[in-house]
Amino acid sequence: MRQKLVVGNWKMYGRLERNRTLLEGVLSGVRDLTQAAYGVCVPYPYLAQAQVMLQGSNVAWGAQNLSQHEEGAFTGAVAPGMLVDFGCRYVIIGHSERRALFHESNDIAAAKFDAAIKAGMTPIFCVGETLVERESGVTEQVVARQLDVVLNHVGAAAVAKSVIAYEPVWAIGTGKTATPEQAQAVHAFIRAQVAQLDEQTAQALCILYGGSVKPNNAEQLFAMPDIDGGLIGGASLVAEDFVAICSAANAAAAG
């Protein structure tokens, strides 16, 4: 059976003192939740803090972006090796906010995916349609295109070392969650797309749902056969909520 995974995406939130309280709450809340895996993707400046507080625990940590380059004159960018220096397991790639606000294309996402794998990290690769795209009935085409660029570029062996996150753009930070059935349909589609590349990889692949996952909807989402956990934005900033979502994943994994 595939492992359930819950990862927090803090986005550009956090301060040293607030993070400490949050991480202490998360650590004590998930300590005994042994059936699933957990992680937090924090802003770059707080990676050292996450490393110090989380090492040796059952909460992994990571970043929300990285450069596709190993090093060089790229002012303001952060190289994969730098994330490895701070013990990052995960790095989010192709989040819709990166695509929309920072003009990251599918090709850039593919290059970053590759760079993350080469550095030994687990990319969490995000795909998802906008509201206009959903309403025009092109969700599958949009998701297929986002996936194809990466799958064709990196190949099955790299995909097997990654996590995919389905994040409908209209559900991110809006309080509007995809219904478990809507999410399940796209998750099954994603798995089928990956199966065209490699069946075994597809069956083992962890596919997270992201977009307004909250304590009151996590259980139903995680009960769906192709939803292997969640990528959590807003609710990951409140220890109690994040722990409740982790607990739903733990319960789903325990069956």
Report if residue 184 touches ligand PGA, rule: CB under 6 A.
Answer: no
- Contacting ligand PGA (CB under 6 A), which of 104, 114, 133, 167? 167
Choose one: 46-54, 77-85, 178-186, 204-212; the region binding ligand PGA (CB under 6 A): 204-212
Which two tokens mark 119? Answer: 């550095």
Residue whose pair of structure tokens reads 């409908």 in the numeric block? 168
Region binding ligand PGA by CB under 6 A among candidate stretches 51-59, 61-69, 116-124, 211-219: 211-219
| Catalytic sites, residue numbers | 95, 167
Neighbouring-strand partners of residue 41: 9, 62
Told to check if 234 binds ligand PGA by CB under 6 A, we report: yes
- Residue 148 to residue 144: CA distance in whole angstroms: 6
Should residue 131 be labelled a site residue for ligand PGA when binding is judged by CB under 6 A? no
Render 81-121 in DSSP notation, one character per residue. Answer: HHHHHTT--EEEES-HHHHHHS---HHHHHHHHHHHHHTT-
CB under 6 A: which stretch of 46-54, 117-125, 149-157, 209-217 binds ligand PGA? 209-217
Tokens of 25: 């709450």
DSSP-derived pairing of the beta strands 5-9 and 122-127? unpaired
Distance between CA atoms of residues 8 and 96, nearest Å = 15
Q: Does residue number 231 form part of the binding site for ligand PGA (CB under 6 A)? A: yes
Q: Nearer Cβ to ligand PGA, position 98 or 201?
A: 98
Binding site for ligand PGA (CB under 6 A): 9, 167, 172-173, 210-213, 231-235
